[in-house]
Amino acid sequence: MPSSSTLPIVDPPRRPRLPEWLRVNLPAGNAQATFNGTLDVVQGNGLHTVCEEARCPNIHDCWAQGTATFMVAGKECTRGCRFCSVETLKNPEPLDAEEPERLADAVERMGLEHVVITVVNRDDLPDGGADHYKQCIEAVHRRLPETTIELLSSDLDGNWASLEHLLDKVSLRVFAHNVECVSRLDPEVRDPRASFSQSLEVLHRAKKLRPDLWTKSSIMVGVGETDEEVSNAMRQLRNSGVEMLTLGQYLAPGRPGTRYLPVDRYVTPEQFEHWAVEARQMGFRAVASGPLVRSSFRAGLLLEEALTGNRIQ
C-alpha cells in the first residue's frame, strides 16, 4: 500500500467552461458608483435581495442601473429546490414587522418607477406569509402611489384562501409565480411540495380573482428538458391565462457534487430567440428569452412591452 506521501493529488471537480454568450461584464465608472449606491441602500435598510441570495448573474447589470429585486419575509426558505442557493430552514426567523416600511423607504431612496418584490416560501406560517407580503406591497404603494409593483409570489402551499386575501384590493400591477421547469422534471428540480400543476393553478386562480392584473411566469432550461417540452410548457401557461413570460439558462450556483443540479446543456441564443417568436405567436403579450434572462429581468421594460406591444429586445 503506498504511503500518504505518494498518493496522487486529485483536484476537485471543475465547472465546464461557460460559452461566450454567458460572460458578463463588471460595471465601471458611473455604473460602478450606481452599483455601490444600490448596495448602500439595500444594506442600510437591512433588506435582502434575490440578486444576492440567489446569486443572479445579472446583479452587476441591474444594480449599476439602480434597480434591485427585493426579497421579503426573511432570507431563509422552508423549501429546498435543487436549483436555488437560498438557504433552507424548517423554521426560519419570525417575520419582521418593520420590514414593510424599510422596504418602502428603500424604494423611495432609489427612485424606482417599477419595483419587484419576491418572497421566500414560508410553509411554517398558517397563511404561507400572504399577509406579510400584502403589507409590504401596501407600504410601498402608500409611500409611492405612482410606482408600479410586481410581486413574484410563492404558491402559498395551495392555500387558496391566503391567495384570495393577498390579492383582495391590493395595489399590484403584476402577479408573478414561476413554474421553474417542465412538469416531467418536478421531482428532480423542485421541492416535493411544489409542482407544475399547482403553479399553474396559482396563476389561473390569480387571474380569475384579479382580471386586471398581468400574470407572469418563468421557465429555466438546461436541467434535462427537451425543446418540445419547453414549447408544451409555454402552451400550458398561455392556456392558464399567463400573459408575460421569461425564459433563461440554468446555471448551477455551486460546484459539481453539491446538492445543486448539474447543468444538462447550454442553450444557444438562437434557440432562445426561436422560443421568443413561438411564445408571441401563442399570444403572450411580453416575452424576455435569453441565456442570462431571469424572472425579474428588466421587469419594468417587460411591463411596458405588455402595455404597448413594443418589444424590449
Residue 18 lies inside a defined structural domain of this protein: no
Query: What's the confidence (pLDDT) of residue 64?
Result: 47
Query: What's the confidence (pLDDT) of residue 285?
Result: 97
Here the cell at position 66 is 439602480
* Mean pLDDT, 10 residues at a time, the chain of 313 residues: 51 63 59 52 56 49 57 91 89 94 89 89 97 97 95 97 98 97 97 97 98 97 98 98 97 74 95 97 97 87 91 66
Beta-carbon neighbour count of residue 258 at 10 Å?
13
Helix intervals (H) in 24-119: 30-44, 50-53, 59-63, 99-110
Residue 103 lies inside a defined structural domain of this protein: yes
pTM: 0.84
For residue range 242-282, list pLDDT tens digits in order. 999 999 999 887 665 678 899 999 999 999 999 999 999 99
Summary mean pLDDT of the chain: 85
Query: What's the confidence (pLDDT) of residue 66?
Result: 45
Task: Check if the beta carbon of residue 167 is closer than 8 Å to that of residue 208.
Answer: no
For residues 69 and 52, give the distance between their C-alpha atoms in angstroms, rounded to a whole number: 9
For residues 234 and 200, give the distance between their C-alpha atoms in angstroms, rounded to a whole number: 11
Residue 297 lies inside a defined structural domain of this protein: yes
Residue 22 lies inside a defined structural domain of this protein: no
Residue 9 lies inside a defined structural domain of this protein: no
For residues 42 and 59, give the distance between their C-alpha atoms in angstroms, rounded to a whole number: 13
Residue 209 lies inside a defined structural domain of this protein: yes
Query: What's the confidence (pLDDT) of residue 24?
Result: 60
Query: What's the confidence (pLDDT) of residue 49?
Result: 53
What CATH number does the domain containing 97 carry? 3.20.20.70
Looking at the structure of the chain, the number of domains it has is 1
> What is the C-alpha radius of gyration for the chain, rounded to an integer number of angstroms?
20
Residue 296 lies inside a defined structural domain of this protein: yes
Query: What's the confidence (pLDDT) of residue 53?
Result: 43
State the residue range of the domain holding 277: 28-308
User: Which sign, positive or negative, has the C-alpha torsion 127, 129, 132, 137?
Assistant: negative
Residue 23 lies inside a defined structural domain of this protein: no
Query: What's the confidence (pLDDT) of residue 312?
Result: 64
